[in-house]
Amino acid sequence: MNRKKYFLSISLLLMRKIYAVGISPSIELITLKALELIKKAPVVLTYDSDFPFSMEEILKDKKIVKLKPSFNEPDVIEENIRVLKSLEEEWGVFLEIGDPSIRNPLFYHILGGYKDFEIETVPGVSSITAVFSKLGTHVRHFCMLGSEEEELLESLIDKCDLFVIVNIHKDHLKIFDKLKEHSYDITFVKNCCNKDEEISNEYKGDTYWIIAVARKEISR
For residue range 124-157, list pLDDT tens digits in order: 999 999 999 999 999 989 999 999 999 999 999 9
pLDDT at residue 220 in the model: 64
Q: Is the pLDDT of residue 8 over 50?
A: no
Fold of 3-125: Cobalt-precorrin-4 Transmethylase; domain 1 (3.40.1010)
Q: Are 209 and 154 in contact (CB under 8 A)?
A: no
pLDDT (mean) for 173-177: 95
- Listed in sequence order, the residues at least 6 apart from 53 whose beta carbon sits closer than 8 Å to its beta carbon are 26, 27, 191, 194, 195
State the DSSP code for 202.
Answer: S
128-215 CATH? 3.30.950.10
Calculate the average pLDDT of the chain: 89
Q: Is the pLDDT of residue 171 over 90?
A: no
DSSP 85-140: HT---SEEEEEESS-TTSS-HIIIIISTT--SSEEEEE----HHHHHHHHHT---S
From the list 14, 29, 54, the residue with the least C-alpha distance to 125 is 29
Helix (H) or strand (E) holding 67: strand 64-67
Q: Are 35 and 58 in contact (CB under 8 A)?
A: yes
- Listed in sequence order, the residues at least 6 apart from 57 whose beta carbon sits closer than 8 Å to its beta carbon are none
pLDDT at residue 208 in the model: 82
CATH 3.30.950.10 segments of the chain: 128-215
- Listed in sequence order, the residues at least 6 apart from 82 whose beta carbon sits closer than 8 Å to its beta carbon are none
Q: Are 149 and 175 in contact (CB under 8 A)?
A: yes
pLDDT at residue 185 in the model: 97
Would you put residue 131 in left (φ > 0), alpha (ψ -120 to 50) or beta?
alpha
Q: Are 23 and 96 in contact (CB under 8 A)?
A: yes
Q: How would you classify the pairing of strands 64-67 and 44-47? A: parallel
- Confidence grade of residue 5 (pLDDT, cut at 50, 70, 90): very low
Would you say the pTM of this structure is higher than 0.75? yes
Burial 188-209 (b: 16+ CB within 10 A, else e): bbbbbbbeeeeeeeebeeeeeb
Q: Measure the CA–CA gap between 66 and 83, rounded to whole angstroms.
A: 9
CATH 3.40.1010.10 segments of the chain: 3-125
Q: Is the pLDDT of residue 163 over 80?
A: yes
Kindly report the number of other CB atoms within 10 A of residue 165's CB atom: 26
